[in-house]
A and B are shown apart, each in its own frame.
Chain A
Amino acid sequence: MDKITLGTRNVSVAFPGVKALSNVDFEISTGEIRALVGANGAGKSTLMKVLAGANPSYTGEVYENGQVVDIRTPLAAKRMGIQIVYQEVDTALIPTFTVAENVMLNETILHGRGMMNWHKINKQAREVLDRLQINVNVKTLVQNLSLAQKQMVLIARAIQSKCNFLLLDEPTAPLSDTETRELFMLVRHLRETENIAIVFISHRIGEVIQICDSYTVMRNGEIVDTTAITPETTSREIVEKMLGRSFSESFPKEETTIGDVVLEVDNLSGADGKVDGVSLHVRSGEIIGIAGLVGAGKSELCKTLFGAYKATGGSIRLHGKELRMKIPSHAVKNGLALVPEERRKEGVMVSENVAFNLSAASLRKHSVASFLNRPSINANAKRFVDDLGIVTPSITQVVKNLSGGNQQKVSVGKWLAADCSVYIFDEPTKGVDVGAKREIFHLINDIAKQGNAVIYASCENAEILSITDRVYVMFDGRVTAELVTKDTNEDEIMFYAVGSEHASA
Chain B
Amino acid sequence: MTALPAKQGKTTARILLDWAAVITLLLCFVIFTLVKGRSFMSENNMINILRAMSITTVFGIAATVTMSTDGFDMSMCTLASCSAYVFVSMYLWYGLSLGMSIVVSILITLIMYQLTMFLILVCKIPDMLATAALMFVHQGLGQWYIGGGAVSTGMRLPNGNPPVRTTLSADFSAIGRAPWIIIITLVCVLLAYILLEHTRQGRYMYAIGGNREAARLSGINVKGYRYLAGMITAVFIAIGGIMVASRTSSAQVMNSDGYLMQSLAAVFVGRSVGGAEKPNAIGTLVGALLVSTLENGLTILAVPYYMLPAVKGGVLALALIAAYAGKKENN
Contacts and interface: CB of A to CB of B under 8 A. Distances in A.
Interface of A: 306, 308, 327-329, 331-333, 338, 340, 345-353, 356, 360-361, 363-364, 366-367, 370-372, 393-394, 396-398, 401, 414, 418
B210 A349 contact: yes
Chain B interface size band reads 20 to 34
Interface of B: 3-8, 198-201, 203-204, 206-207, 210-211, 213-224, 277-278
B213 A351 contact: no
Nearest to A327: B221
Given A327-B216, A346-B213, A398-B5, A372 B200 contact: yes
Contacts of B220: 329, 360
Contacts of A328: 216-219
Contacts of A364: 200
Contacts of A329: 216, 219-221, 224
Contacts of B198: 371-372
What secondary structure prevails in chain A residues at the interface with B? Answer: mixed
B5 A349 contact: no
Nearest to B219: A332
B200 A396 contact: no
Contact of A338 (B8, B217, B224, B277): B217
Contacts of B5: 353, 396-398, 401
Residue of B198, B217, B222 with most partner-chain A CB within 10 A: B217
A361 B211 contact: no
A91 to B, nearest CB: 16
A363 B217 contact: no
Contacts of A306: 217
Contacts of A396: 3-6
Nearest to B211: A349
Contact of B214 (A346, A363, A418): A346
B217 A401 contact: no
A349 B207 contact: yes
A361 B199 contact: no
Contact of B210 (A352, A366, A394): A352
A348 B207 CA distance: 10
Given A393-B8, A414-B218, 5 more contacts: A340-B217, A349-B218, A367-B200, A393-B6, A401-B7
Nearest to A345: B213
Contact of B6 (A360, A366, A394): A394
B116 to A, nearest CB: 21
Contact of B219 (A331, A348, A356): A331
B203 A372 contact: yes
Nearest to B197: A372
Contacts of B223: 327
Contacts of A350: 210-211
Contacts of B201: 370
